[in-house]
Amino acid sequence: MDVIDAIGNTPLIELKRVAAGLPVKVFIKCEHQNPGGSVKDRTARAIVLDAEERGLLKPGSTMIEGTAGNTGVGLALLAGARGYRLICVLPEKMAIDKRIALRQLGSEVIITPNGPLTAPHNFRTLAARLAEENGWFLTNQFFNPANLGAHYGTAKYKGTGEEILEQVAQAGYEQPGAFVCSSGTGGTISGAGRRMKEKSPSIKVVLADPQGSSIESWVNTGVLGPDGPSMIEGIGSGSIPGNLQRQWLDGAETVSDAEAFAMVERLVKEEGLTVGGSTGVNVVAALRVAARGGLAGPVVTVAADQWDRYKSTVWMKAWMDREAATVTVQDKEGNKL
């Protein structure tokens, strides 16, 4: 065994406090407990193994990926363990914590200005151009079908969807009532959602979308909505990634930054889950779906990544400042200082 075999098989736990009093229970798949700290470890494993099997990666090969950070971390773990060079292209808006993690894991990092896909400096566009110019392997998480396979399942590894079905059954339910998940590349919600729909078409698959993203409108109406700002990293988009497959989705919910960050604080304090902003989006949307009732089982969502990737961000610093202001310092006699 090596690090590649430590990915997946993450716990499924009940949210007992934040979901108290709802018509159905809410469970969360703890993908933040993967070796690289996020659900994207599964994507990295699937892409690397698929490329090796197809002869696209050989000892000493160079991989390049346009990433918000988490897929890059997963790829860096495997690149180091399997002897590949990795270059990650990140948009400048991403947390510096992710840049540091990538460098510590041995990845080369290119920071590029934020911009739409049509801009030559867009992180995905730049990664594709550099791959073509230099003969490097473009991992291409947004369109690589191996990403979907990571969550649907492969001949060697169970996917996220299969694990959820098994764990829900172990908890005493015939099936989930709904699966609620955000989309960065579309791999998790489409791959796991397809697997669940094949088990039972009555399982609802609902996209959780951050404010400013166009995808909620596309899922619900077929037309992209307006694109706007959000402080949530790694999910939502103004365009549709190739791995997001609308035929497996039943609807979508938009979640504001304020709702998401407030939920992150609750998850830390009330559930003991140290997670990032996208998990806040997932849980807020999951609670809405659960509150409506009428489901054939519990709602399942995903803890996408760890909070330590965001310690430098504006919202995390504001939270830390608020908590620091409540700390009481006493001398040894118990007098407040």
Q: Which residues are designated catalytic?
A: 40
Judge contact between 215 and 227, C-beta under 8 A: no
Please choose, from the candidates 253, 268, 238, 246, the residue with its C-alpha nearest in 3D space to the C-alpha of residue 299: 253
**Calpha distance 107→153 (Å, rounded):** 28
Closest CA to 40 of 235, 247, 328, 245: 235
Q: By the 8 A CB rule, do 114 and 93 touch? A: yes
Rounded Cα distance, 48 and 261, in Å: 33
What residues pair up with 182 in beta bridges, in sequence order?
208
CA atoms of 136 and 2, how far apart (whole Å): 25
- Residues 284 and 181: their CA atoms lie apart, in Å, by 10
Q: Which amino acid is located at 132 in the chain? A: E
- Nearest CA to 62 out of 151, 130, 149 is that of 130
Return d(Cα 334, Cα 257) in angstroms, integer: 40
The β-bridge partners of 300 are 27, 179
Residue 67, token pair as written in the block: 């990433």
- In DSSP notation, 226-256 reads -----S--S---SS--TT--GGG--EEEEE-
What is the rounded distance in angstroms from the CA atom of residue 88 to the CA atom of residue 81? Answer: 17
- State how far Cα 195 lies from the chain centre: 18
According to DSSP, the β-strands at 108-112 and 85-91 are parallel
